[in-house]
Amino acid sequence: MAIHPIEYRYGTDEMKYVWSEANRLDKLMETEAALAMAEADIGLIPKEAAENIAKSIESVQLERVKAIEDEINHDMMAVVIGITEQCTEEAGKWVHFGATSNDILDTSTGLQIKDAIEILEKKMDQLLAVLVKQASDNKNLVCAGRTHGQIGVPTTYGLRFAIWASEVARHIERLEQLKPRATVGQMTGAVGTQAAFGKDGIEIQKRTMEYLKIGAVDVSNQVIQRDRHVEFVMWMANTVTTLDKIAVAFRSLQRSEIAEVEESFGKKQVGSSTMPHKRNPIKSEQICGLARIVRAMIEPELQNNTLWDERDLTNSSCERIVFPEACVLTDHLIKLAIGVIENMRFYHENIRRNLDLLRGLNMGEAVMMELAMRGVGRQEAHEIVRSSAMIAHESGQHFKDVLLANKEVAEYLSEDDVVNLVDPDKYIGTAVEQVEAVVAKLQKK
């Protein structure tokens, strides 16, 4: 019986598989086999035994391992016994030789994180591509900028998408940077001294990780230090917060009274069970909602780094939830965001309507700057424009008409000057050039 929505509602099959019981067991056994091969390389155990261990893991069944765990109440020893059962009697003596449970458990987690990052990297590249395309396609689409929820001077949709694309590009860089820190394994023994491996502990760890194709810790106690994992969880929280920010913008811009953009809406899609006209931004809302869950994983994982002495077990149960949920939901949200952004619908007539909604008032900065450049002090120009704006606001007149009736303005600006200054299409600064530069930069990645 499915209980958690990840089981039936959220997440991709590829990311779910990474954190599945079956794959977890595979990683544990892969690590045990790599350890045996490393130990055989230096002559600590017989080569034939290592080869038999590596071959025997193919026959271990998840159901059998779970049955053993039910009997002995120890997950790692259940795996060790499960492998030993499939080995020859001689090879079975060397399974898990010199290792402690977390040498295998934490190293396997590193392998799972490596696989998860590979999935996330591909989707992040797709996300960046759709943002860059929207930036390029809409670099000349002038719209109302807003601060404090109020209409300000004009901006462009291209600039908005370019800003988001730049942020996503930084997340991609961060993921690449943290990957070697988060995808590591260890073979350090009960308290980190490698005593059970003898004088060859450092070489055994090195060779084991070479077999597994991941990095090795420089030093640890019984567990890999969780600052590595914290960084990865924080990356996911940071990334989904960017998606949250984008989705909040889309939700706001899709409000009925703004209606500049809209999520794709299927021909048979239902918006409300009682209001048939509704076209709700449900995908963007899902992004915002689930982003809260991913962000909530930061505090538990931070506390997983504050273990007693050489370790306790408080991190274990917590991470069984944190890693799968955070990875599955982050992957899900990136995929969801790609679809929303790629299929976004723009309502150009509403964009223009909102741009002109204040009847020129949003062009006050342009007028102020021109007056200042023509000899009026900046502060004096600000007051002239402010007082004119208040008159226009109270009277309902177009800002242009109030300005033309102002004698102080008339001393410096002609009617043509004023008409040009209140034209929003002529006051977007270097927005287009900035977008083009960002697009050129990010397309090279």
Q: Tokens standing for 284?
A: 């963007």
Q: Tokens standing for 412?
A: 């410096």
Beta strands in 84-157 (DSSP E): 142-147, 150-156
From the list 59, 272, 387, 395, the catalytic residue is 272
Q: Tokens standing for 386?
A: 């402010």
Q: Cβ contacts of residue 364 below 8 Å, gap of 6+?
A: 385, 386, 389, 399
Catalytic-residue membership of 272: yes
d(CA 216, CA 229): 14
Q: Tokens standing for 269?
A: 């899609």
Counting every residue, how long is the chain?
445
DSSP string, 175-190: HHHHHHHHSEE----S
Query: 100-126 in b/e burial notation, b at 16+ Cβ within 10 A?
Result: bbbbbbbbbbbbbbbbbbebbeebbee
- Cα distances (Å, whole numbers) of residue 236 to 117, 120, 163, 298: 10, 10, 19, 9
Query: 73-99 in b/e burial notation, b at 16+ Cβ within 10 A?
Result: eebbebbbbbbbbbbeeebbebbbbbb
From the list 148, 256, 277, 317, the catalytic residue is 148
- Cα distances (Å, whole numbers) of residue 156 to 51, 159, 251, 346: 63, 5, 18, 13
Catalytic-residue membership of 229: no
Backbone angles phi, psi at 261, to 5 degrees: -135, 170
H or E element that contains 361: none
- Catalytic residue numbers read 148, 272
